[in-house]
Amino acid sequence: MTDAEIRLRCHELAFERARAEQPENFLDRVAEIATWLYDRIVIVPEGSNAGQKGRGKTDKSPEIFK
């Protein structure tokens, strides 16, 4: 699977789960679940700074679904 396919599948799974939970802020919950899934599937190399431009040094999580 390519990275784009992994992201799409994480988003699909997150959408299904959030729909079942019926949260008050649906889109934020979808983004939260999708990021949680992606973080457990993809391991970003330590030296990689892709997607980190302008973010704080303490924030190491990739911002991929916002």
pLDDT in tens, 11-29: 999 999 999 999 899 999 9
How many other CB atoms sit within 10 Å of the CB of residue 65?
Answer: 19
In this prediction, residue 30 carries a pLDDT of: 93
| Helices marked H in the chain | 3-21, 26-41
Q: Which residues of 27-48 are buried (b: 16+ CB within 10 A; e: fewer)?
A: eebbbbbbbebbeeeeeeeeee
Q: What is the pLDDT of residues 54-63, one digit of tens each?
A: 445 555 656 6
pTM above 0.85, yes or no: no
